[in-house]
Chain A
């Protein structure tokens, strides 16, 4: 991921004032920021939902995005979701999707309608859809929201494994725990990213 001099304003209100970010392969990084710091705008720009007023965003390789609010269709089952996205990604098989689902321990819900799943299970599927095509660059927006402690730990194992296999992973959160798991941490403040020292605990 290569983000250069990204600016964005809503009318006269400047939200992003020159964001620079370069994520090399094999990096697990995080961005934290308070409410209203511009995280949502930055995420929209990084994911391609919004074009920046100025600057550029590049993702080299396959790109995966896990949105904060689960984006699923309640009328489909888990299996139907995975099948639909297999076609979208043009995948020959569901090997990677099955692996992710096994790590997140929710393979038993395959034939259940998504509308009947708990919040945590919906988030697991949300994450699976972002990972099933084995992306090189991964953008995760509050990815562990609704997870129980065990799943939370599994998520970090998964993120670490992705980093170790050369993927670029960027976790965006208003509150990031376990910062020692990250290789790099930035705080979004005043419309710019500021490097943070990593320390064990939480940052707001």
Chain B
């Protein structure tokens, strides 16, 4: 148990160290989120922007700039979390592989990465909610934080998947950006009438958008939206785990079968120097494949 705890805490500590040393992402968190919210407040007209919330059927009519602030906050937290996890996965892929080959259990590494992602997303969601709250009071700030958190986590897990399967850094950046643009633009009542289409229900942050709109402008329950977003999170996190597992697989499964000393002969290098240690006292590894 102590060993499991040590493996988990060590990996979590270094996962967090890695994130905090991503200076550009930190700068985005500190500057981009409040800047976006402030600019939306100042530049977007405050006239009513009526739309129907699919989750409750309610017609809401918030000021346009407030609506943009919420969609903008969602867009900012998802992009930052996706970008952070993509970079961490893409640049750390070979290192993770080396760690697992050295004996680091993959479950502990994955749990540690998930814990670090959870902490980062929670901090970013609280920060974004506070930034919105400085501009105007939201109806359910805790629910808004939860919606932002789940959306960020979903994109963070998506970043892990993209960081594992794409070959070039620029491909991942574009992929996250394109997914985010499609996701947010199609759901935004200000920019697209498509937000009334059934298709939007299948977008990655549909649940978070529904929950955050309820939280910001209505007193209605956001449970359904949060539940849908949780499903997206479970789906992307599972995909992230599967690709991580595949990428760090070892074709030399550990075995404890006592070895038979290899006979001398062609292709055999005999130990001409030193004393040979007893073989088979430690874990051995074997890779066998037959057609």
Contacts and interface: CB of A to CB of B under 8 A. Distances in A.
A21 B265 CA distance: 10
Given A22-B267, A71-B95, A58 B273 contact: no
B274 A165 contact: yes
B269 A29 contact: yes
Contacts of A76: 14, 17-18
B103 A65 contact: no
Interface string B122-133: 000000000000
A58 B287 CA distance: 6
Nearest to B290: A54
Interface string B263-274: 000111111111
B283 A62 contact: yes
A183 B267 contact: no
B263 to A, nearest CB: 8
A166 B286 contact: no
A51 interface: yes
Contacts of A52: 251, 287, 289
Nearest to A126: B98
Interface residues of A, number: 58
A190 B10 CA distance: 45
A26 interface: yes
Interface stretch (A42-50, A93-101, A103-111): A42-50
Nearest to A28: B273
B252 A25 contact: no
B252 A57 contact: yes
Interface in B255-282: 259, 261-262, 266-277, 279-282
Given A59-B285, A71-B94, A195-B267, A48 B276 contact: no
B103 A48 contact: no
A83 interface: yes
A86 B94 CA distance: 18
B276 A25 contact: yes
Contacts of B271: 24-27, 166, 183
A164 to B, nearest CB: 4
B289 A61 contact: no
Given A22-B262, A26-B274, A45-B251, A58 B285 contact: yes
A85 to B, nearest CB: 6
A84 B99 contact: yes
A129 B98 contact: yes
Interface in B106-147: none
A2 B252 CA distance: 12
Contacts of B275: 26, 165-166
A65 B22 CA distance: 29
A73 B18 contact: yes
B168 interface: no
Interface in B60-117: 91-92, 94-95, 97-99, 101-104
Contact of B102 (A23, A72, A85): A85
Most buried by B among A20, A23, A48: A48
Contacts of B92: 73
B251 A58 contact: no
Contact of B276 (A20, A26, A55, A57): A26
A163 B274 contact: yes
* Residue picked from A47, A55, A73, A165, most chain B C-beta under 10 Å: A73
Contact of B279 (A51, A60, A72): A60
